[in-house]
Chains A and B, each alone.
Chain A
């Protein structure tokens, strides 16, 4: 035990003696968090619509003003020139070109089907679909207004209507900051711990200092634990700083137990650091380690469900996430912070993370050879 303390002290001395790293491990996550968290919103705020209204009837104007009145669309202009419309779309100046043909109003009045055509920039397929869904909704609303008007005129029979109320729990205004902040924090803490712990180990190999350690009676587990502990502490401090700043600047809610959050993060960090050291035992140079780490990190992060819904992944991808520590912590953080989930709610995640932590650390200790 005493040996470990000596080794941990040495790691801390080395980390804080490096002028750049000692500042960067705290400054970089905070700055990135402050900049990146407010940036992310999934909602389509302004979808720019260019209208080609060849009809100019009260009905077409009615539809356009309906669009304009919605929160999703903005009429960025009107034109009669199809070429101009194309060019504007090529230049990303508009997302939708809405064609309203001649006779649109007349068709409605005479009870024929009236057609409109929306040309949507679909490079981003999901926002295109969303825009299309919103547009459809507006048209449907407009339809029913027209219908009700018409029906009220002719037959006053009541039509049964299911009325929908929706509420968002835990985050009523769907504030994306609440959603992104825990996720971004996890990524930053992972990146720092994973990279630095592994690099530290490989660096000792590369410059030869590990040989002097290997010839001492120090136990393998002692040396590895001493490599992990400093980054565990740094990771937790980063997390605490990040949360504190998140609370102050973005007023993110803490509905759950902070202790539970830190418990989850501690187990998570042990797993990630264990994996980093494990990988470092295979790597001969920092360059090699860095590439493997980069590879793992990008897969872990993308698959974790931080940016995309977890459930829509195919089964094999969800199975893969059984060994993805980031996926667990992402869920734990969001559940505890925003929903106030309790220990029993996240016990499965915690148990899985613990298994990973034990496995990866054991692998690392096993794989590490005290030989030259």
Chain B
């Protein structure tokens, strides 16, 4: 045990000497949180809209003014003809063109009907949908306004909304859990797999293996410092989300920390598993970064909800550990629910950890023989 502790200390010293790496280790989650908090959002703001007004009358000017002053849009160009639409959309700054047909105002008054077209750039479907939706909503409002006198305002269903769990509709309740989930698995798996593969590649593993330390102790010794660092990382992210965004942990913080430990453990054992199949650091890095990064971002439901994916992915994501943790962390942090609601996910994580360790031990033994 004493020998083991000595070994752990040595590993720790090794990590702390490289302060640059340490700096980045904590820099990654902090930068990510800040990016999600302040730089990017799924919503649109100031999207470029061009106007092709073939009528230029009071109504079109009023309506286009209404559309442009909504905050969602910014006028990118005034067009004179249909031919210009393609040109302006191809430049990329303009996301949609709003076309008022000739004699728009006159028709509206005389025939009671005028048509407006929204031509959106479908190469960015998300933006296109949002632009169309918001414009439609604004025009609908305008319709109702115009009809104002005609409609005796009596007949109305007024829908009211209560936003659950996140009444202020802040995006952080989505990305804070996401960032924790993503960072923990990548960093833990990456660090463990690389540090163990490094010993293999440089031949120092043999030196360790002939030492009085047992193989299990060697692996544990290598992994323990990263376990602690990852745990500190969780605390840093939670503290940040509380201090910067005012997002508290609604449920039991102890439960959250225990679950985080479990998830870190799972990630570390995944890292160990990767190291048993890699012979060079390049390979370990390739698997843990190129292999894990995109699937974790995309299939864990962190940015893109799994519910919206084709059904196959619902099953495919069952083998993605982040999926379970993200459910756990959202339940505890945002919904404030207890173990009763997440015991299944917890069990799956325990099972995954066991399987990863089991395979690693097997592979390790085979190699020693």
Contact = CB atoms under 8 A, between A and B. Distances in A.
B300 to A, nearest CB: 11
A174 B294 contact: no
Interface residues of A, number: 125
Main secondary structure on chain B at its contact with chain A? helix
A248 interface: no
A16 B117 CA distance: 55
Nearest to B327: A92
Contacts of A139: 157, 159
Interface stretch (B3-11, B163-171, B259-267): B163-171
B16 to A, nearest CB: 14
B217 interface: no
A367 interface: no
Given A40-B304, A312-B47, A295 B294 contact: no
B173 A42 contact: no
A83 interface: no
B286 A195 contact: yes
Contacts of A151: 150-151
Interface stretch (B126-134, B230-238, B353-361): B126-134
A313 B40 contact: yes
A128 B163 contact: yes
A312 B285 contact: no
Nearest to A32: B294
B35 A303 contact: yes
B159 A163 contact: no
B28 A295 contact: yes
Contacts of B173: 122-123, 125
Interface in A253-274: none
Interface in B186-234: 186, 190-191, 194-195, 198
Nearest to A24: B286
Contact of B117 (A114, A140, A166, A203): A166
Nearest to B278: A20
B253 interface: no
B162 A120 contact: yes
Interface string A281-309: 00001111011101101110011000111
Given A21-B282, A91-B341, A171-B125, A302 B35 contact: yes
Contacts of A247: none
A116 B195 contact: no
B158 to A, nearest CB: 5
B44 A345 contact: no
Nearest to A146: B155
B56 interface: no
Interface in B103-147: 108-109, 112-130, 132-133, 135-137, 139-140, 142-144, 146-147
- In the A-B complex, the 5 residue pairs with the smallest Cβ-Cβ separation, listed nearest first, are A171-B122, A168-B122, A338-B123, A122-B163, A312-B45
Given A133-B137, A162-B142, A166-B136, 10 more contacts: A35-B295, A43-B125, A120-B164, A123-B166, A127-B305, A135-B161, A178-B123, A292-B20, A308-B40, A311-B74
